[in-house]
Amino acid sequence: MHPPEYFVNGQLVDQPPNSPGVYRLYGDGPTPLYIGKSLHIARRLREHAREAESSARHQRLMRSTRRIDCTLTAGDIGAQLLENLEIKRDMPLFNRRQRRARHPVTVHVPRLAAAASGFLRPEVTALAADNLSPDDSHYGLFRQRRAAEDYLITLARRCGLCQRVLGLDRGRGPCFAYQLGQCLGACVGREPAKKHNLRLLAALAPAQLAAWPWQHAILLREDAPGNAHTDWHLVHQWHHLGTFPSLRHLPRRAPAASPPALDLDAYRILLRAFRQPEVQRYAYRPDSRPRAVPLPVASHGTADPAGL
């Protein structure tokens, strides 16, 4: 078996780089067999070779690999974003987990839309990024509706919330949990709506999602070790709109409206990035000479998405 050829940013090289970036393993065809990312590409490729000694799947992958193509990034944020984009676009055979674009559902509690009884009722809805507003609270990210409903049922049982008034238990009269002593009696008038609502919101609070805190797109600046180069990540409404090597490469016009569906993996990557105090944030000012205006560090102190 001949060793694969290595390419870095389109150039043939003798050895893979030990730098941050994305790598693609190709066989004889034009579509990658596998796409990965690492802070140390060469080290990660050596790990693949070792894994082939004990894993039949890795052995098939490495035996089929004829070419390894690498794209360097400034750091881990850019590598994660590029990997996520390319896996969903190219759907490599050996990437199982991320191949399908995951558009999550969430638990939405419209604060100003309580039922006629006065009780807040959670709704399981598809999540669009521009719906993440501070006024309407969203909690948790889930791959499917059933997972969100199971989360609410578990929460109700743990906290003594009434599944009947939450819309999880259809029927009339006392809910089944009340008969078992697991509900404080909202369904029979023993617990006021205000108290039940407060307990519901307190139980959901650890899973509250972060609303987009700006009125405009922003830039995340990511510098390579030793400031060898810089990546500028353009982001709006939790959508990654592109990565650029310098400000002069940025688009001259403001980004179009965000697509309706939120990419779950991209959201989680960006949320982690915003929580890193060393990541520099800039307001994006598109004009004849795009500018980056420094922003104060914003708070994104929500818990990690639930249900995943």
What pLDDT, on the 0 to 100 scale, is given for residue 172? 81
Per-residue pLDDT, averaged over 138-158, amounts to 92
The reported pLDDT for the residue numbered 70 is 98
Pair 127, 83: CB distance under 8 Å: no
Contact criterion met (CB below 8 Å) for 253 and 92: no
Average pLDDT over residues 5-30: 95
DSSP state letter for 4? P
**The total number of structural domains that make up the chain:** 3
Is residue 39 assigned to a domain? yes
Kindly state the average pLDDT of the residues 75-94: 95
Looking at residue 306, what is its pLDDT? 43
Q: Is residue 299 one of the residues assigned to a domain?
A: no
Q: The whole model's pTM is what?
A: 0.80
For residue 2, the 8-state DSSP code is: P
> Is pLDDT at 131 greater than 70 in this prediction?
no
Quickly tell me which residue has 């990541």 as its tokens.
279
Q: Are residues 128 and 187 in the same domain?
A: yes
Q: Are residues 60 and 128 in the same domain?
A: no
pLDDT value at 299 more than 70: no
Residue 205 CB contacts under 8 Å (≥ 6 apart), including other chains: none
Measure CA of the first residue to CA of the last residue in the chain; give whole Å: 40
Q: What is the mean pLDDT of the chain?
A: 86
210-to-95, 123, 272 alpha-carbon distances in Å:
29, 18, 11
50 belongs to a structural domain: yes
Whether the predicted pLDDT of 278 surpasses 90: no
Considering the domain architecture, whether residues 115 and 201 belong to the same structural domain is answered as: yes
278 belongs to a structural domain:
yes
One domain, residues 43 and 114? no
List the CATH number of the domain containing 75.
Answer: 3.40.1440.10
| Residues whose CB is less than 8 angstroms from the CB of residue 204 and which lie 6 or more positions away in sequence, other chains included | 107, 109, 122, 137, 139, 140, 155
Tell me what pLDDT residue 279 has: 87
Q: Is residue 111 a part of any domain in this protein?
A: yes
**160 within a domain of the structure (yes/no):** yes
pLDDT of residue 301: 43
Predicted confidence at residue 220, as pLDDT, reads 95
Residue with tokens 């779950």: 264
**Confidence tier at 32 by pLDDT (50, 70, 90):** very high
- Cα–Cα dist 56/87, whole Å: 22
pLDDT on residue 184: 93
**Highest mean pLDDT: which range of 3-7, 171-175, 199-203, 266-270:** 199-203
Residue 187: its pLDDT value, please? 93
Write out the residue range of the structural domain in which residue 181 sits. 105-207
pLDDT band for position 228 (cuts 50, 70, 90): confident
End of a domain among 175, 207, 239? 207
